[in-house]
Amino acid sequence: MNPKLNFLVVVLLLSFCTAFSQETLKVGHVNIPELVQQMPETDSIQAVLNKEAKEMEAMYSEMLGEHEKNVQKFENESSSYSEFVRKTKEAELMESAGKIQQFHQNATQQLQKRNVELLQPVYQKINEAISQVAGRDNFTYILDLGNGAVVFHAEHSQDLNPLVLAEIKKQ
């Protein structure tokens, strides 16, 4: 390759690198969990989750009460059972305990899934507002302080929570 052409390519590359490095970075931060708590929908979502949790807790308590009653009956009457009947009833009680434990696990998972499902539109609304604020005000980076992954938070980083909330209220 021609040395003059090599020199020209290097100069062009350096000029592009210099131009990109001189672009100022504008950094802002939000706290998404805090924004979620400030959303008006959060109270109604929490009410729905509390209602569903109470229903599941009532069913769990009913199942547990029935199981405890059966255990007590078994303990009181087991001496009169034949070996076969006693083992059969023990197996039934073990199966009942397993069903109760499985119900508890499923109920917990269902509540977590329902929480995610109900909060999804809230997170979407927050993310859209963050994108609009970032685009409008030319932010290069927006960090979420709420997830604990930010190692350093500079004083000149702008808190965008008020701007994001204002943007959401416009929608």
Query: Which residue in this structure is represented by tokens 């020209």?
Result: 8
Distance of CA 123 to the CA centre of its chain: 10
Q: What is the pLDDT of residues 85-107, one digit of tens each?
A: 999 999 999 999 999 999 999 99
Cα dihedral 32, 34, 37, 41 in deg (nearest 10): -40
Q: What pLDDT tens digit does each residue of the chain (171 aa) get?
A: 555 544 445 445 555 555 455 567 888 889 999 999 999 999 999 999 999 999 999 999 999 999 999 999 999 999 999 999 999 999 999 999 999 999 999 999 999 999 999 999 999 999 999 999 999 998 888 888 888 776 566 666 788 888 888 888 887
- The phi and psi torsions of 2 (rounded to 5 degrees) equal -70, 135
| Beta carbons of 30 and 128 less than 8 angstroms apart | no
In the chain, what are the domains?
22-170 (3.30.910.20)
Q: Model pTM?
A: 0.71
Give pLDDT, residue 120. Answer: 97
pLDDT at residue 26, as a whole number: 85
